[in-house]
A = this chain, B = another copy of it.
Amino acid sequence: MSGSELTAAVVASYEIWMRTVDLAGPALARHRLTEATFQALWVIDPDEPPPPMKVVAERLHCNAPNLSFMADQLVDRGMVERAVDPSDRRSRVLVLTAKGRQVRDEVIRATLEQSPLNRLTDTELRQVATLLNRALQSPAS
């Protein structure tokens, strides 16, 4: 219930995110991605086992019908394929295609390059990440 420090930090984090999204727009359009589909692509790490849709939905803070819709878009664009999860046949995992991996790399690189955060030094970025992650780690209020 304090005051201006908290307000300033929340406003700044809002502004950082909004500008990142704005600046990423053209790069997304080049690959016919929207912000929503891009974020879905982002959270599928090609260096880890393909995640079940349930996990992807959690990472995106969205619900199952919503992810189903976005997955359709990525499948239509040839960037992702659905596969049955061998460990649970109810579940579907999202597998990046070769094109999906390439587009993901390219758009993430463009997004990071243009992010306002890219103007900070590595030391400053480590401080930011440390502080923000400290805030995120506490028990779910």
A interface, CB within 8 angstroms of B: 1-2, 5-10, 12-23, 61, 108-109, 111-120, 122, 124-129, 131-136, 138, 141
Contacts and interface: CB of A to CB of B under 8 A. Distances in A.
Contacts of A108: 7
26 contacts: A1-B112, A5-B122, A6-B117, A6-B125, A7-B108, A7-B112, A8-B129, A10-B115, A10-B117, A13-B16, A13-B20, A13-B117, A16-B132, A17-B17, A18-B61, A19-B61, A19-B136, A22-B61, A119-B134, A119-B135, A119-B138, A124-B131, A124-B134, A127-B127, A128-B128, A128-B132
Given A13-B17, A17-B14, A128-B12, A6 B118 contact: yes
B141 A114 contact: yes
Contacts of A119: 134-135, 138
Contacts of A131: 120, 124, 127-128
